[in-house]
Structure 1
Amino acid sequence: MKHTPLYLALFASSLLLSACDKTAKTDTTTVAAEAALDSKMAAVPAYTPAQFYATKSYMGNDINHKADALLVASDETGVFNLYKVSLDGKTWTPLTQSTTESMLPVGWFPQDDRVLYKADQGGNELHHVYVRELDGSVKDLTPGDKHKAEFVGWTDDNKFWLMTNERDPKFFDLYSYDSSNYQRTLVYQNNEGYDIGALSDNGRYVALSKERTNADNNLYLLDLQSTDKTPVHITPHQGNVSHGIYGFSRDNNQLIFGSDEKSEFSEAFAYNINEKAVQPYSKADWDIMYIGFSKDNKYKVEAVNADASTLISITELATGKALQLPELPAGDLRGVTFSDDSQYLSFYVNADNSPSNLFVWKLSETKAERLTQALDKAIDENVLVKSEVVRFPSFDDLAVPALLYKPKQASSTAKVPALIWIHGGPGGQSRTGYSPAIQHLVNQGYAVLAVNNRGSSGYGKTFFHLDDLKHGEHDLQDIVYGKKYLQSLDWVATDRIGVMGGSYGGYLTMAAMAFTDEFKVGINIFGVTNWVRTLESIPAWWESFRESLYAELGDPAKDGERLRRISPVFHGDKVKKPVLVVQGANDPRVLQVESDEMVAAIRAQNVPVEYVLFPDEGHGFMKKENRIKAQEAYLAFLQKYL
């Protein structure tokens, strides 16, 4: 369990025996292969980035108090806006009309159709929380220029609770808000740097966590009715144990949390508040991702991260019986949400070859209603591909998991170029599910291997910590051996393999281009290139896990030499192959200067480098127009150099 907030060169012999015959055979083979590939490509419709991103993305599916509408955000207009959606999906009433910033849903008020939502400015991650009144007017509940706010929860007295770092940029304080007039009360001044994890329904208890290292943390219970409001440590343990907060039981008597103390994976435990005792609650063969309860406490929802897919179970608490869902399309369930009376269930179904579509199920009926058609009508879903979970041995025989996307036009007689795709983090995971970026590249005839290198989450704590203080070294070798694996496939063009990734994946991409000669091209999407600067300039609100980051990546004050050694920006002279860099100017995590300097260092060597800079984006691209431009840049670059 984690708690922090894609090489081998093809051997080419210079010894040409029977040169004329060899050349003739090679040319014939090449022509035949290209003809076969062209034939297969013609059989697969090729779609543009604009068509893939015409597909609609949705988020949120909260059911209102009358159980007659959902709160949904859609990016159909180019950025995410909020809609009131009837339960049959026939009526979509716009609630916001933003043209610049995405409006991200929090939820309905519990007794009327006022709405809470949040938004930042140009991707700067300084989110504010807003209320949309019944008359359509909007109020910023957390006004100011340089702070960040997040929603914590509702309590039974109809108060909503927010946390902000306005007092001290490093720490988040907890406030309760009167839902009638929005007057707020400072409930807990967080001077010690705790992370606020959950709030009990009665408003009495707050679950807190505090990082020690990236492998070890503690959980605390804060009783707001106590005289001194001192958090009480509730997870004493020996050695390194990672804990995560799931939430409180509906009766306010238990805190449900995850722990890897007794397993490689996160198991669920219950802390009994009255008895001050911990009991096992639930376990699985993989990490338990979350546990939640319907508002009327009739059902429990549990999610497990099973080999990069999400398995959802819904249990009736009174009987212990599993709720049998109606027939649904293949895919993972996401965002499972009950109405207040548990008569309705809303959720999304998502698959590799099908973007998230919204469903509503009335539990008394046998069929769930599908409310959306997310995939653009121009795209035939049957043309899209499903990933295959594969594993390959790395340099030390470690089995490295990955998701393999094989283009439909690929075969042993029609070999295709390939890309290794590296997720962010460190500590992230490439998971099954729809990705327009991956599907577009595969549709264009590029194989994709999404590698979950050592240090990825989801495969046990030992695997997760294998890259600690070894970043850009052992995990980079996993990427090298991912290339070896691709070269073992008879449908891959072994001399046409590139690497790409975002954030930490962008770092490993640049590391692969600077420290190896294995990949023909690299696409660095807002990747770290100067670890010293990045670790010295982390956002102020990351203060609570600064030491955890240092334990995993290194302390710039103590480990500066090693951090410079693994930072590609100091080794631009070693980059010999074409690189594309894509960056958001407002990125608070990986500053624009990192990409500026990396591009300059490569250009100084007269190596082809292309640079796409979005002035209105941050760490990730929210605007559909920019996502299309980025995807067009990926394709043009790959068509030119790979």
Structure 2
Amino acid sequence: MVMAQTATITPGENLVVEGIPPIPSALAETVERYTQFRYASLLSWHPTRREMLISTRFGEVPQVHWVKTPLGSRQQITFFPEPVAGASFQPTQGDYFVFSKDIGGNEFSQNYRYDIASGNIALLTDGKSRNSGGVWSNKGDRRVYTSTRRNGKDADFYVVDPQNPEERLLSQVESGGWGAADWSPDDQKILVQEYISATESNLWIVDATSGEKTLVTPNAGKSKVSYEGGAFSKDGKGLYVVSDRESEFLRLAYVDLATRQHTYLTSQIPWDVEEFDLSDDGKLLAFVTNEDGASVLHLLETATGKEKALPKLPIGQVSSISWHSNNQDLGFTLVAARSTADVYSLNVTNNTIERWTESETGGLNTANFSEPELVRWKSFDGKTISGFLYRPPARFEGKRPVIINIHGGPESQFRPSFLGRLNYYLNELGVAIVFPNVRGSTGYGKTFVDLDNGFRREDSVKDIGALLDWITTQPTLDKDRILVTGGSYGGYMSLAVATRYSDRIRAAIDIVGISNFVTFLERTESYRRDLRRVEYGDERDPKMRAFLQKISPVNNASAIKKPLFVVHGQNDPRVPLNEAEQIVKTVRNNQVPVWYLMAKDEGHGFSKKKNIDFQFYATVMYIRETLLK
């Protein structure tokens, strides 16, 4: 991206720009500080030293960095043009680590070994298929991971010794929804998960030698049950799992492997358990609950089932919880509305918290950033829908324009967090932002998750109609200046709102969104097609196909009367580029202004800073043009 000596910004060589007016260089200078936020997240503790690998970005994309003391220097270790994901130390010596990386956002990740002493990097996978990162054996001599190499569709299990990378096919499966969770203490068995849908999954135990699978969680034809991963107890006689069995919410449970008896450990908490980690000695279970969108960290003694008191953390998101092998330090990533994501550790013997990273915030004082406000409204059928409202500073007087920002998934949830660049819309443009959690969102029980499935797809769109009604009742919000935006499924929702409620919005932004459910289901990568059919419906069924065609935005595009901005990555394996191309062409044929931005080196959303920056500049200009004029 070129700015020097020119009055306008030249897009990067991989960007295709259509219908977007020239962007003044002055705009980039105005928003510059909001493009400089950094984030850090915990990747892996060193097994013998109190040191860690983290992910953060100093160049274009996030890379692996080594931090040797709390608030110590962040020593960059990997240097690639593509983002690096999931690095994990070898768990006994720590003399090398394994990491994952794809190309251009295609999500066909490959695994690599990085040798600490030499800095040499070795490819561990075939270089072509889609591979999961994998899970270490307790001895640290093997990793089990999934790969689609056999047929491009099914996520089979492979075992590899990263020191001698000859992979062995362990077990063939059907579908792309399989993943490894843990090894038994003697490394003879592997716990794996079979994901079927957001509300249905199974746990199996795979023999680490023969590959033979045994179902641990038979459901006997009852209502759907979800199991979100698990871990072996240290005596190998049971499993700690997260499940919504006999419950609306995901609870932590202990499963006796001899009897399959479930003992529930968190029934007193009426919210989802979203993550847990068992200490190396098996005495403590750290877990995180999602309580109305905010993360709460808990600590449970396995012997007594009692919780230990912990220091209070800021309201935000806690993730990547991970025990050090010393059984005292619990590492985690924490992000809140006024603080970007950073890495911390909690010493559970004396309840002290130490900060390991302090990420830059572009020189801005984030202490003044807007805090989220939980809001609720009644939808068309009487159901209560909720979301989070961020208000601009009080110096902006009068009714404020509104951006409705809809999450993807659809089995996802907007959680109060650091808004990054979006703070510019609040602080400098005076725009309020609402993040709705429409039906189909997670976090509110499994019944709520299923309310938008199949033929009920448009009910979630009506939830946004009800939000538009709610906005008209708010004395500080301007019902005549509303823009709707979203990514992935949220992109579909933006397009659907633009077709159904065009007279009530000023503009829409569709980021990597679905414009036609039939073409999407036919063209999304084969490893995920059946998983998406469970959510959206099977396009091979004539009745469902007709319904999906009827509700698809591209077939209702004549109703879009307001400007549209479409953003997509050429290498998107989830929502293929065709979804963007067809909605752009159709809406333009209706003589409606369309801005189009496509990146040749990106996939399902932009990950490279120069591309993200250009998208941000264009979006600021689009908001000024459509919402603020």
Q: Please, what TM-score do these two structures have when normalized by structure 2?
A: 0.88
Matched, 1:231 2:214: yes
Partners of 1:563 and 1:630 in 2: CA distance: 30
Q: Which amino acid aligns with 2:469?
A: K
Answer whether contact 1:423 1:504 (CA < 8 A) is retained. yes
448-457 or 57-66: bigger deviation: 57-66
Matched, 1:355 2:340: yes
Aligned twin of 1:425:
409
Aligned twin of 2:252:
268
Partners of 1:576 and 1:52 in 2: CA distance: 32
Partners of 2:187 and 2:86 in 1: CA distance: 22
User: Identical aligned pairs, as a percentage?
Assistant: 27
Q: After superposition, what is the alpha-carbon deviation per residue over 1:67-107, rounded to whole angstroms, capped at 9, x for unaligned?
A: 23210111121201111111223232221112x20011331
Q: Secondary structure at the match of 2:149?
A: strand
* Residue number among 473, 477, 492 corresponding to 1:507 in the alignment: 492
Matched, 1:79 2:61: yes
Distance apart, 1:422 and its partner CA: 0.4
* Residue number among 102, 111, 115 corresponding to 2:83 in the alignment: 102
Q: Secondary structure at the match of 1:231?
A: strand
Change (3 A) 1:263 1:191: closer
Q: After superposition, what is the alpha-carbon deviation per residue over 1:128-184, rounded to whole angstroms, capped at 9, x for unaligned?
A: 111111211111100322x11112311122222222111121112222222432333
Q: After superposition, what is the alpha-carbon deviation per residue over 1:275-316, rounded to whole angstroms, capped at 9, x for unaligned?
A: 343333432201121232012223201111111111110223
Aligned twin of 1:536:
522
Distance apart, 1:214 and its partner CA: 5.5
Partners of 1:59 and 1:217 in 2: CA distance: 28
Point out where structure 2 has 5 or more consecutive residues left out of the alignment.
Answer: 1-27
Partners of 1:113 and 1:600 in 2: CA distance: 54
Aligned twin of 2:437:
452
Distance apart, 1:264 and its partner CA: 1.6
Aligned twin of 1:345:
330
Answer whether contact 1:578 1:608 (CA < 8 A) is retained. yes
Q: Secondary structure at the match of 2:148?
A: strand
Aligned twin of 2:588:
603
Q: Which amino acid aligns with 2:488?
A: S
Matched, 1:51 2:33: yes
Equivalences for 1:36-435 in 2 at 5 Å? 48-98=30-80, 100-110=81-91, 111-134=93-116, 135-145=118-128, 147-158=129-140, 159-190=142-173, 195-201=178-184, 202-210=186-194, 215-224=199-208, 229-232=212-215, 234-248=217-231, 249-283=233-267, 284-318=269-303, 320-326=305-311, 329-363=314-348, 367-409=352-394, 413-435=397-419
Aligned twin of 1:613:
598
Partners of 1:278 and 1:206 in 2: CA distance: 20
Aligned twin of 1:42:
none
Q: Secondary structure at the match of 2:496?
A: helix
Q: Which amino acid aligns with 2:388?
A: L
Q: Secondary structure at the match of 1:441?
A: helix
Matched, 1:479 2:445: no
Q: Secondary structure at the match of 1:336?
A: strand
Q: Which amino acid aligns with 2:181?
A: A
Point out where structure 1 has 5 or more consecutive residues left out of the alignment.
Answer: 1-45
Q: Secondary structure at the match of 1:434?
A: coil
Change (3 A) 1:278 1:95: same
Aligned twin of 2:545:
560
Q: Please, what TM-score do these two structures have when normalized by structure 1?
A: 0.87
Higher-Rg member (1/2): 1
Q: After superposition, what is the alpha-carbon deviation per residue over 1:198-238, rounded to whole angstroms, capped at 9, x for unaligned?
A: 2324333333444666644443333446x681433532244
Q: Secondary structure at the match of 1:282?
A: coil
Answer whether contact 1:49 1:628 (CA < 8 A) is retained. no
Q: Which amino acid aligns with 2:587?
A: I
Change (3 A) 1:337 1:210: closer
* Residue number among 563, 575, 581 corresponding to 1:590 in the alignment: 575
Answer whether contact 2:317 2:336 (CA < 8 A) is retained. yes
Q: Secondary structure at the match of 2:165?
A: coil
Partners of 1:499 and 1:244 in 2: CA distance: 34
Change (3 A) 1:621 1:212: closer
Partners of 1:215 and 1:325 in 2: CA distance: 31
Alpha carbon RMSD of aligned pairs, Å? 2.3
Answer whether contact 1:129 1:149 (CA < 8 A) is retained. yes
Change (3 A) 1:250 1:623: farther
Q: Which amino acid aligns with 2:527?
A: W
Partners of 2:99 and 2:202 in 1: CA distance: 31
Q: Secondary structure at the match of 2:47?
A: coil
Partners of 2:123 and 2:246 in 1: CA distance: 45
Partners of 2:588 and 2:38 in 1: CA distance: 38
Aligned twin of 1:624:
609
Change (3 A) 1:62 1:273: same
Answer whether contact 2:569 2:598 (CA < 8 A) is retained. yes
Partners of 2:46 and 2:538 in 1: CA distance: 47
Q: Which amino acid aligns with 1:96?
A: T
Matched, 1:633 2:586: no
Corresponding residue pairs, total = 590
176-185 or 75-84: bigger deviation: 176-185
